[in-house]
Structure formats: structure tokens, C-alpha cells
């Protein structure tokens, strides 16, 4: 009777299990950690010691080449996992993570996460769903790089950072990144990023006047969705001659791509390979 009662209790606990509660509370193998803005969470080449779940804040993932050049892999937001490579057998971190803003993170040890997913299908389903969504995002990134202009790629990066997609939200604030960082994320030159950011601002799609943050408006989707609003020189068709003259005063005519989706290789920011030391550890 006691054994049956224990089995019923265990089954009830599994049914009542809430994966979001698991990912927002401390427990065996789970610790809540705070990081200040620009503080390093882990560094490329460090030993893996579990994964992280973002409670509050934004995290930047980057990778460094043998020559010391850094490339930004992505900006993560609340509700995102990162550092889960150890679950797939990686013994060292393949990237670095820095708190882009003040952050509160849940750190889950590998053994604790593996055990919880085995015991609770709801948690396993949530984690797999997240990985699938991220895989789709990576596929979209590849298509974006292959077929879209640098202007559209920049607009998409800003919209993704702002987490647009929820109905009723017309404007979001995001941390203001340097133009060099945006150029690496987009795969273009800093001068092109400067040209398009100036255009977005003049068209009312973004606003710089908020301290260290950048306000992104949902109307920026117009750049991503419309294919027939640009001339051969990259200017918006229908904009006033005064506006076009204003743009040309800031950036030479050669800066905007003359043909969307066909930037010369020499003008693209490169994704550097991992260092030899990191490859050997892998």
C-alpha cells in the first residue's frame, strides 16, 4: 500500500510540474546569479558547467578568432537559454557571453537539467521547442545573408533585438550597440550601417534620443516587407529631393549597395573561425 501511495504521489507531482517554475526558482543544481552591465558571464574556451536561462536583461554572445577579432553571434533576451553546449557533449565553451545590460540568470548544472528533462516531459518539450525555434532563426539568418540587401538585414536585426511580434506593441527600447557591432551582425561595413541608420532615423523608424538605448518602431517592418520601394542606388523611391540630397551629404553615393543582396565579399564583415586551442579541446 505504501509503495502504491508513493507511486501515486510521484505521478501527481509530475503532472503538477511547471517548467517555467523550475526555470525561475532555485533548487538542487539551480542557482540564481546576478551580473552587472558589461560583466563577463563566461569566456570562450572555459570548461562547460551547465546552461543559463535569462530571467531579466540581455546577453551578448560572441566568438574570437586567432588574430583576436571578435564577431557577434547574437543578442539574447529574457526567456532564452544559452551555454547548453555541454548537454551535447562539448567540454569547453565555444563562445563568450557578456551581460549587455544588468542581468539575472538561472544557472542549471548539466546533471540537474538532464535529470529534470528525463523526469518531466513538459520541461523536455519546452527545451526542444526552444532549440527548434532557434534552429529556424539560424536558417532565416542564412537566407537573409544570401538573398537580402544589407539594409533589410540591418532592419531585421533591429526588429529581432526589439522582440517585435506581439500585437499592440508599436515601439520597443533596446541597448544601443556600436555601428561596428551592428556591421558584424549584419555582414556589411560600418559606413553602410551608418548610412542606413541615418535613413531609418530620418524616416522615423528609430530614435536615438533616449540615453544609452535605441527606440525601434514597428514601422521599420516596411523596410523588410517591401521589395519595390528602392531605386538602383538604394534610395527610397518617392522621398523628396531634399531628403536624398541630405543623405548624399552624409555618405558617398557608393556606400549604399547598388544591387540588393550582392555586396562584394571584401565589404562584408567576416565570421572568424574558432581558435586552434578551442578546436583542439572540442
Q: What confidence tens digit (pLDDT) does each residue in 194-253 have?
A: 999 999 999 999 998 767 889 999 899 888 887 644 433 344 433 333 343 344 344 344
Q: Quick one: pLDDT at residue 66? A: 84
Which among 128, 70, 78 is positioned nearest to 95, based on CA atoms?
Answer: 70
The owner of cell 533585438 is: 161
Distance CA 152, CA 148 (A): 6
Distance CA 171, CA 161 (A): 12
The owner of cell 548537454 is: 87
pTM of the model: 0.71
Angle at 173 between CA 168 and CA 179, to 5 degrees: 130
Bridge pairing between strands 96-99 and 59-64: antiparallel
Distance CA 119, CA 124 (A): 9
Q: Which of 8-17, 116-125, 272-281 comes out lowest in average pLDDT?
A: 272-281
CB atoms within 10 A of CB 110: 15
**Cα distances (Å, whole numbers) of residue 14 to 17, 25, 217, 235:** 5, 17, 42, 58
Bridge partners, residue 53, by sequence: 81, 106
Phi first, then psi, for residue 154 (nearest 5°) are -65, -45
pLDDT band with cut points at 50, 70 and 90 for residue 3: low
User: DSSP string covering 55-108, please?
Assistant: EES-EEEEEE-TTS-EEEEEEE-TT-EE-GGGGGT-SB-SSEEEESS-EEEEEE
pLDDT band with cut points at 50, 70 and 90 for residue 62: very high
Percent share of the chain, pLDDT over 70: 73
Distance CA 119, CA 14 (A): 8
Distance CA 110, CA 66 (A): 29
pLDDT band with cut points at 50, 70 and 90 for residue 131: very high
Which domains, ranges and CATH numbers included, belong to the chain? 2-141 (2.60.120.10), 149-260 (1.10.10.10)
Amino acid at each position: 500500500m505504501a509503495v502504491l501511495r508513493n507511486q501515486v504521489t510521484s505521478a501527481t507531482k509530475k503532472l503538477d510540474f511547471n517548467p517555467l517554475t523550475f526555470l525561475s526558482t532555485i533548487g538542487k543544481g539551480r542557482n540564481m546569479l546576478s551580473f552587472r552591465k558589461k560583466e563577463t558571464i563566461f569566456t570562450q574556451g572555459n570548461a562547460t558547467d551547465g546552461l543559463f536561462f535569462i530571467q531579466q536583461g540581455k546577453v551578448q554572445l560572441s566568438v574570437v578568432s586567432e588574430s583576436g577579432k571578435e564577431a557577434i553571434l547574437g543578442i539574447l533576451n529574457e526567456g532564452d537559454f544559452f551555454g547548453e553546449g555541454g548537454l551535447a557533449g562539448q567540454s569547453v565553451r565555444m563562445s563568450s557571453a557578456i551581460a549587455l545590460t544588468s542581468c539575472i540568470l538561472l544557472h542549471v548544472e548539466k546533471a540537474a537539467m538532464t535529470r529534470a528533462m528525463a523526469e518531466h516531459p513538459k520541461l523536455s518539450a519546452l527545451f526542444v521547442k526552444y532549440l527548434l525555434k532557434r534552429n529556424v532563426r539560424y536558417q532565416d539568418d542564412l537566407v537573409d545573408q544570401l538573398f537580402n540587401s544589407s539594409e533589410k538585414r540591418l532592419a531585421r536585426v533591429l526588429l529581432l533585438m526589439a522582440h517585435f511580434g506581439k500585437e499592440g506593441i508599436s515601439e520597443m527600447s533596446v541597448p544601443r550597440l556600436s555601428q561596428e557591432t551592428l556591421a558584424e551582425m549584419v555582414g556589411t561595413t560600418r559606413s553602410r550601417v551608418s548610412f542606413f541608420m541615418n535613413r531609418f532615423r530620418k524616416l522615423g523608424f528609430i530614435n536615438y534620443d533616449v540615453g544609452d538605448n535605441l527606440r525601434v518602431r514597428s514601422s521599420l517592418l516596411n523596410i523588410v516587407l517591401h521589395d519595390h520601394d528602392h531605386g538602383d542606388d538604394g534610395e527610397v523611391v518617392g522621398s523628396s529631393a531634399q531628403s536624398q540630397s541630405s543623405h548624399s551629404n552624409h555618405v558617398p553615393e557608393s556606400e549604399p549597395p547598388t544591387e540588393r543582396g550582392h555586396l562584394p565579399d571584401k565589404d562584408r564583415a567576416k565570421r572568424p573561425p574558432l581558435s586552434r586551442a578551442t578546436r583542439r579541446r572540442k
